[in-house]
Structure 1
Amino acid sequence: MHSWPGGAENRHSTGHAELVPYWFRQALSKKPTTTHVSPENRPSDISQSSSQDSPPPLGPSSEVSPTLPPTHMGADSSSSSSGRWSKDYDVCVCHSEEDLAVAQELVSYLEGSTSSLRCFLQLRDATPGGAIVSELCQALSNSHCRVLLITPGFLQDPWCRYQMLQALSEAPGAEGRTIPLMSGLSRAAYPAELRFMYFVDGRGPDGGFHQVKEAVLRYLRALS
């Protein structure tokens, strides 16, 4: 019969400890080590979960730019706010009541031309029920050019004289804006208020209509 090293005393002092191998007891006595994960060595699943919880950072392609106010100064808008289309009419024809037929012929000629000039004819375009003074002043201010059909009836009509003085007071120095068309009068009868302006002689074959149209177009071209 063999005996364990150390005798019976050792067997009683250690009990069952001798039955457990030494390497197993060493393994049990070791403390578990805690693995510290640095930000650089963080697992991919952790980074993915954190990226899902928080919004991704803004890159150069996703930067939020400040909201700019809408612009209204394009090519079309700038041209519509100035130039020919800034007023309702191209020509306002000022005439006496007895010269209505001649004024209608002039308007038909200007509107029927290739330029399709926009004309204001008082008895045709004035607002029904409107005050005469207000309508006349509004027509003059809303027209680029004013054609004064100067005839013997024009000089005797107080409203025609009012329109002439109103046109001169609004644009005394605007060359080409007020166009006198004299018909049936001698040069001596030409109104003194218009002596500093050249007039169109209506004794020609077309009644001076062509010259009036060219004068209006010249003024409109200067606006653009």
Structure 2
Amino acid sequence: MASSTSSPAPHSRSKKPLGKMADWFRQALSKKPTKTPVSPESPPGDVSQPSSSNSPPPVGPSSEASPSPPPTHMGADGSSSGSSSGSSSGRWSKDYDVCVCHSEEDLAAAQELVSYLEGSAASLRCFLQLRDATPGGAIVSELCQALSSSHCRVLLITPGFLRDPWCKYQMLQALSEAPGAEGRTIPLMSGLSRDAYPAELRYMYFVDGRGPDGGFRQVKEAVVRYLQTLS
């Protein structure tokens, strides 16, 4: 005869454990997250954070106070060049500081002037036609190139200068390239009276070459003074 005691249904045994699990989840959700205590002596930013392998290393005070210098570019000769543009502007933007314009019969006086300017403390870079012109080059091209590649132009005005058509061409070319640039064209008059001073230059002062040094010192000071305006 079969027993009359019946076993409970399978789903009735799981009700109590499920109820306990639901109560545990409700308690877990109702709990508030605890805050990390912060010391009153330190600002909130000093609270230590958990490190992560993917996070970058912290930046120290030394890296914040000293920024990295700008990149240095190396020239073709191995010399370094910074961010300054002094090499491409100012005095070094042209090949010569001064171009000496003279006649052929005044070559000795022109060489003496160039020797004085190049041997001075300023070490001026001079263009002397018979010394620095390109062999085989056209005279007109060489004269124009000498003027355009020089900051200042010294006109050695003598009786031979006034008779030489190429000297007059250089004088007019210098005036046409920079008619308003004061200090660039420096007339040095030697062996002439004031009345013989060219009419094209009457609006500017000239250096009198009758002094003890032939006016060389005044010429040097005029060139140096103009070069200082470029820096």
TM-score between the two structures when normalised by the length of structure 2: 0.67
Counterpart check, 1:181 vs 2:188? yes
What is the match of residue 125 of structure 1? 132
The aligned runs of 1:73-222 (5 Å cut-off) are 74-77=82-85, 79-222=86-229
* Secondary structure at the counterpart of residue 146 of structure 1: strand
Amino acid at match of 2:230: L
CA distance in 2, matches of 1:143, 1:193: 21
User: Number of paired residues?
Assistant: 184
Q: Give how far 1:93 is off.
A: 0.1
Please tell me whether Structure 1 or Structure 2 has the larger radius of gyration of its CA atoms: 1
CA distance in 2, matches of 1:111, 1:71: 33
Q: Once the two structures are superposed, what CA deviation does each residue of 1:48-81 show, in whole Å capped at 9, x if it has no partner?
A: xxx99xx88x7887xxxxxxxx78794543x112
Amino acid at match of 1:135: E
Task: Pick the structure with more helix per residue.
Answer: 1
CA distance in 1, matches of 2:209, 2:107: 15
CA distance in 2, matches of 1:178, 1:96: 17
Dislocated runs of 4+, deviation >2 Å: 58-61, 70-77
* Secondary structure at the counterpart of residue 151 of structure 2: strand
Identity of aligned residues (%): 86
Indicate the RMSD between aligned Cα atoms, in angstroms: 3.6
Amino acid at match of 1:119: C
CA distance in 1, matches of 2:110, 2:92: 24
- Unpaired runs of 5+ residues, structure 1, are 1-8, 10-50, 62-69
Q: Once the two structures are superposed, what CA deviation does each residue of 1:89-148 show, in whole Å capped at 9, x if it has no partner?
A: 000000000000000000000000000000000000000111110010000000000000
TM-score between the two structures when normalised by the length of structure 1: 0.69
CA distance in 1, matches of 2:139, 2:83: 38
